[in-house]
Amino acid sequence: MDHPALLERIAAEVAPLVGTGTPAGYIPALAGVDPRSFGMAVATLDGTVHGVGDWRVPFSTQSITKVFTLALVLAHGGDSVWERVGREPSGNPFNSLVQLEYENGIPRNPFINAGALVVTDRLQTWTGDASSELLEFLRRESGNPDLAFDPDVAGSESDHGDRNAALAHFMASYGNISNPVPTLLDHYFWQCSITASCADLALAARFLARHGLLADGSRLLTRSEAKQVNAVMLTCGTYDAAGEFAYRVGLPGKSGVGGGIVAVVPGHGTLCVWSPGLDERGNSVAGVAALDRFTTLTGLSVF
Ligand code: GLN
């Protein structure tokens, strides 16, 4: 497949949407990003990566990191994490509190904020330094040693982190958080603040297309676990828009409020798209459209 020509075509087709939507305003450090940015990268299983537009420009990964922390926790502890977090779509916004009380402090899935806090809590217990473990993993798998935390974004999230603090304290009251809540929140905010480009993220996510195998050929996840992570991405990775995303794109995908989305074509490769303008559910408007065009034009989807 001629990826460069395909990506140019997609970029031209979605250009009218770039700049529409709204960059995340509730994290002030994200509000300053150029809304006209657009980048897209495709990585094949062997690590060849092609891109278009701003595909090498680092952006705030935000909730995309939730996929990687889940994979690391499964790799460390196997299935035990599923005693503390579910795997059903929430049908609610990613930062909603409402289901947690009805469901006794067990979040619906690992990709809403409450679920990700539980997963990061597990990683913190196992490693003693969850956010550094994640950063090292992303550096290794992307081959980019310059990936870094963004202290301004982490600080901004912390300064405006009342909702996440409420989620964490509420779950702690049910005994579903093991570490001190302030420590957990720090690691969660640092994790969300990691900056990486479309190229970096497409490369780092390849283990999900390679049925659990890392870049060096060693195994992070069993084939079955890789299938499970992809399945949860498909059903929960774009929050209360996961049904619409599956309908339009037909791939496992994980979005973040920085405007990035990572998508996986199991057995073929990975995609990452970035454009900061978000729809009302927190997913990149031009990003979803670009992935929709990719699967429509290539016929590559899980369906
Ligand atoms: N850091 C963001 C938050 O906690 C992540 C949300 C997202 O990307 N959907 O609200």
- Residues whose CB falls within 8 Å of the CB of residue 117, separated by 6 or more in sequence, listed in order: 107, 164, 167, 168, 171, 177, 184, 185, 188
Catalytic site includes residue 66: yes
Q: Report how far ligand 1's centroid is from the alpha carbon of 122 (Å).
A: 18
Give, to the nearest 10 degrees, the angle between helix 285-298 and helix 3-14: 140
pLDDT, residue 77, reads: 86
Would you say the C-alpha torsion 295, 70, 224, 83 has a positive or negative sign? negative
Tally of structural domains, the chain: 1
What domain range includes position 82? Answer: 3-298
| 28: three-class secondary structure by DSSP | helix
Q: Is 95 in the pocket of ligand 1 (CB under 6 A)?
A: yes
pLDDT tens string, the chain, 303 residues long: the values are: 688 999 999 999 999 999 999 999 889 989 889 999 999 999 999 999 999 999 999 999 999 999 999 999 999 988 899 999 999 999 888 899 999 999 999 999 999 999 999 999 999 999 999 999 999 999 999 999 999 999 999 999 999 999 999 999 999 999 999 999 999 999 999 999 999 999 999 999 999 999 999 999 999 999 999 999 999 999 999 999 999 999 999 999 999 999 999 999 999 999 999 999 999 999 999 999 999 999 999 999 999
pLDDT, residue 287, reads: 98
Q: Report how far ligand 1's centroid is from the alpha carbon of 6 (Å).
A: 31
Q: Report how far ligand 1's centroid is from the alpha carbon of 113 (Å).
A: 7
Q: Is residue 240 domain-resident?
A: yes
Q: Is residue 303 domain-resident?
A: no
Q: Is residue 152 domain-resident?
A: yes
Q: Is 144 in the pocket of ligand 1 (CB under 6 A)?
A: no
The single residue of 81, 239, 249, 273 carrying the catalytic annotation is 239
Residue range 47-76, pLDDT digits in tens: 999 999 999 999 999 999 999 999 999 999
Return the C-alpha torsion angle 110, 27, 23, 111, nearest 10: 0
Catalytic site includes residue 81: no
CA neighbor of 14 nearest in space, from 261, 250, 302, 204 = 261
How distant, in Å, are the alpha carbons of 106, 120, 154, 258 from that of 59? 31, 21, 13, 7
Q: Is 35 in the pocket of ligand 1 (CB under 6 A)?
A: no
pLDDT, residue 52, reads: 98
**CATH value at residue 235:** 3.40.710.10
Residue to probe by mutation, ligand 1, list 62, 67, 158, most atoms within 8 Å of CB = 62
pLDDT, residue 33, reads: 92
Protein residue with its CA nearest to atom 6 in ligand 1: 63
Residue 41 and residue 49 in contact, taking contact as beta carbons nearer than 8 Å: yes
Q: Report how far ligand 1's centroid is from the alpha carbon of 210 (Å).
A: 27
| Per-residue b or e along 21-47, where b marks 16 or more CB atoms closer than 10 Å to that residue's CB | bebbeebebbeebebebbbbbbbbeee
Q: Report how far ligand 1's centroid is from the alpha carbon of 258 (Å).
A: 8
Q: In which residue are the tokens 């913190």 written? A: 124
Q: Is residue 225 domain-resident?
A: yes
Catalytic site includes residue 255: no
Q: Is residue 112 domain-resident?
A: yes
Q: Is 164 in the pocket of ligand 1 (CB under 6 A)?
A: yes
| Per-residue b or e along 149-174, where b marks 16 or more CB atoms closer than 10 Å to that residue's CB | bbeebbebbbeebeebbebbebbbee
Q: Is residue 244 domain-resident?
A: yes
Q: Is residue 119 domain-resident?
A: yes
Our separate counts of H helices and E strands in the chain read 14, 7
